[in-house]
Structure 1
Amino acid sequence: MAHEITRLHHVGHVVQDMPAALDLYRRLGFSVPAPSYPAMAPREGGEPEPFGAANTHADFPCDFLELATVVDPGGHVPADARLVPLQAPPEVLPTLVERINATSANLADCLERFEGLHILMFSSSDIDVSAARLTTAGVRHGGVNTVRRPAGTEVETVRYLEIDGVRPGVEAEGRIGVVADLDPRIQATRLADHPNGAVGLVDATLCTADADLDAVQERYERYLGRVPRKEGVSRVFDLDGATLTVVPASGLSVLLPGEHAPALPALVACTVAVQDLAATKHLLRENEIPLLRTPSDDVFVPATAALGAAIAFRQAVEPRHQDGRQQGIV
């Protein structure tokens, strides 16, 4: 059966201190460009000042890891930050500002729960089909939004929807949604070699209360249009070249030794495939990053050393095509 939900689109790590997060991710071996900060003049004729929410990505061919933070007026902005003045027709600008402020308010709420992973977006080959399927399945969402933004010499069109859960655009575990597949031509312009050999996202791990496991499984069955397989106490949704693992709180320390969820439900970990796991481990040890091993022989940086999110690394089985499929797999 064909599925329009193809893979993980991105996982978002919401942090208190963007400079500290940049330092961490670069020590983890990711190539992370300067973050973008929306900016607007507080008064007519004034200089643009950052506000709202800032972010940057560790980009891979088909997906990415996002770092996001709430802009603290007058707070510490990285020296290499890229200010992006808002440019929109006068009749559109208030709506744009409202969206940015809503996003930053959601991120602030996430940070009140804990610093860590709060964003999980799935990739869709047909976002309109995804929206219709979710509506038919009784999943409330905000409809398909379209954003156009500069991407070098071109304009990138991003179409996405956010699932409405505990409130509009936010589920209990964070911001969950669906985004149209990345444009491989534009995404290719963002790619840089990661010193750790990272090539893509291969898992996101969601931890839930034991009593809620069946309900969370049912919820994601409707989101993804897929039924998971059982792996020990976990429920694993197979996507194209990646998985979503839902684990009960009682089983988290088996899956990721020493880890515990700061709240329930919570996105507790993500796993990145690397070209040479031995080389990745060597780099991390050289950078004095603590490492633990999973029962499946992945290695991970514990959440206590990675701003509230366990970051795991796995040996890539085969290189990915630009369309996200692994070679030899149809």
Structure 2
Amino acid sequence: MGKDISDLHHVGLVVRDMTAAIETYRRLGFTLPPPAYPTLPTAPGALPRPVGAANTHIYLRRNFVEIVAVVDDGQPIPGDAHLIPLDVPDDKLPGLLAAVRGTAANLAAFLDRFQGMHILVVDSADLDSAAARLDAADAGHGGVHAVQRPIETADGTRMLPTRYLEINSDETDAPRGRLPEGRVGIAENTAVEGQQHPKHANGAIDLIGCLLCVPDDALPDVERRYETYLGRAAHRNGSTRSFDLGDASVIIVAESALPDVLPGERPPALPAFVGYTVAVHDIAQTEHHLRTAGVPYRTPRPDEIVVPASEALGVAIIFRPAVD
């Protein structure tokens, strides 16, 4: 199997209220910059306006957690938001607007299911090889595209070119870029000189895990799909399937086994991303911050802290000590 996937690139939450989401995650001890709102004219010569989706990032050492909100005319824009003009020739504007609106429609559909985690993107050092591998396996995807995402440097916010692809469902008439569990893709993680990695009050270092819950009878099919997406076989343990990605992992768990894997949690729908794991410097520091901030948490295992989905916008956060 292929070796073109090496890590987690990011996971993403889709939320209803960007301002409230940022406040929630800052209370959890994460450092977040002001959100970015892309702007485009809706017709040649018109004034640019926010379109599509706004986002902010929890930047970690190797990867990040994204928080996304669909841009809605009725939703106020935070006062400190960064408006990011997208420069496009007039003849390309209709196509870009259609793509932006298609992405926003998918995100809105995810939000209609539940507020929470709907995005998983894994990292590749060779995206073209990953695309070729998917083609050889007859796994549909939207092709390799280039976009820009904001990063924080000592000189301020910069837009970083990023190449990515989105995996399509093999179900007939399913919208492009929308799988039953959400949006799954592959991206290239480009290192940038001068990129800042902010410190987090909860001690967060890296994103190291993603947990997907599925109906028991769907486990074999989802396992097969992810073996194709990730280019490797799963490690089987009862009703869980684990895919090792270097220092990170993607775990698929059958609904009946979720109480053993993530005690106290119930999936908001099926299939659903129900948790992600963050490595921290010092688990005692993490616990101290959460206790001081008044955030409810569980300690289901030694050296593990779980903030329940009810406190983290629909997805559980699992904190574990970093392994040197």
* 8 Å CA contact 1:61, 1:184 repeated in 2: no
Q: TM-score, normalised by structure 1?
A: 0.90
Check 1:94–1:42 CA distance in 2 against 1; reply closer, same or farther (3 A cut).
closer
Give the corresponding residue for 2:246. Answer: 240
* 8 Å CA contact 1:57, 1:65 repeated in 2: yes
Give the corresponding residue for 1:156. Answer: 160
* Whole-angstrom CA distance in 2 between matches of 1:16 and 1:221: 32
Check 1:250–1:294 CA distance in 2 against 1; reply closer, same or farther (3 A cut).
same
Identity in percent: 47
Pairs within 5 Å for 1:108-187:
108-148=108-148, 156-165=160-169, 166-180=174-188, 182-186=189-193
* 8 Å CA contact 1:205, 1:244 repeated in 2: yes
* 8 Å CA contact 2:39, 2:51 repeated in 1: yes
* 8 Å CA contact 2:131, 2:143 repeated in 1: yes
Tell me the secondary structure at the aligned position of residue 158 of structure 1: strand
Q: Work out which of the residue numbers 312, 322, 325 in structure 1 matches 2:318.
A: 312
Check 1:28–1:94 CA distance in 2 against 1; reply closer, same or farther (3 A cut).
same
* 8 Å CA contact 2:298, 2:306 repeated in 1: yes
* Whole-angstrom CA distance in 2 between matches of 1:34 and 1:153: 10
Tell me the secondary structure at the aligned position of residue 292 of structure 1: coil
Code of the residue aligned with 1:60 in structure 2: it is: L
* 8 Å CA contact 1:207, 1:265 repeated in 2: yes
* Whole-angstrom CA distance in 2 between matches of 1:2 and 1:131: 11
Give the corresponding residue for 1:220. Answer: 226
Give the aligned length.
316
Post-superposition CA distance 1:240-283 (Å, at most 9, x none) = 11000100001111111110111111111001000011101100
Shift of 1:231: 3.1
* 8 Å CA contact 1:149, 1:157 repeated in 2: yes
Give the corresponding residue for 1:102. Answer: 102
Tell me the secondary structure at the aligned position of residue 159 of structure 1: strand
Shift of 1:39: 2.1
- Any stretches of 5+ residues in structure 2 without a counterpart? none
Shift of 1:84: 1.4
Shift of 1:196: 1.3
Check 1:258–1:119 CA distance in 2 against 1; reply closer, same or farther (3 A cut).
same
Tell me the secondary structure at the aligned position of residue 14 of structure 1: strand
Shift of 1:228: 1.3
Shift of 1:46: 6.4
* 8 Å CA contact 1:62, 1:184 repeated in 2: no
* 8 Å CA contact 1:29, 1:283 repeated in 2: yes
* 8 Å CA contact 2:2, 2:133 repeated in 1: no
